[in-house]
Amino acid sequence: MSPDSLEFESLGTTCSLFGAGTPPGALAEGRAWVEEMHRRLTRFEPASELSAFNASAGDWVRVSPALEALLREALRAHRISGGLVHAGVLHAIIAAGYGRTFSQGPTVTARDTVTLDPVPLLPNMLEVSPGAARLRPGYGIDLGGIAKGWLADRLAERLGENCLVNLGGDLFARGAGLDGRGWPVGFGGTTVFLRNRGAATSGTRRRSWGDGLHHLVDPRTGRPAKTDLAEVSVIAASGADAEIHAKTAFLLGRRAAEFYLEQNAPGWYLAP
* Per-residue pLDDT tens over the stretch 61-99: 999 999 999 999 999 999 999 999 999 999 888 887 765
Nearest partner of 145 among 174, 115, 169, 175, judged by Cα: 169
Domains (range + CATH), the chain? 4-271 (3.10.520.10)
Q: Give start and end residues of each alpha helix (H) in 22-89.
A: 26-41, 49-55, 65-80
User: What is d(CA 233, CA 240) in angstroms, rounded to the nearest whole number?
Assistant: 13
- Assess whether pLDDT exceeds 70 at residue 109: no
Nearest partner of 152 among 136, 138, 166, 141, judged by Cα: 166
Least confident of 43-57, 62-76, 168-182, 203-217: 203-217
More confident position, 113 or 149: 149
Neighbours of 133 (CB within 10 A): 21
Q: pTM for the whole thing?
A: 0.90
Note the pLDDT of residue 204. Answer: 73
H or E segment and range at residue 224? strand 223-224
Q: What is the mean pLDDT of the chain?
A: 90
* Per-residue pLDDT tens over the stretch 205-263: 565 556 665 678 899 998 888 888 989 999 999 999 999 999 999 999 999 999 999 99
User: What is d(CA 220, CA 118) in angstroms, rounded to the nearest whole number?
Assistant: 5
User: What is d(CA 265, CA 113) in angstroms, rounded to the nearest whole number?
Assistant: 40
- 236 and 197 in contact (C-beta within 8 Å)? yes
Q: In what order do the strands lie in the sheet with 132-135?
A: 61-62, 132-135, 126-129
User: What is d(CA 10, CA 127) in angstroms, rounded to the nearest whole number?
Assistant: 29
- Assess whether pLDDT exceeds 80 at residue 174: yes
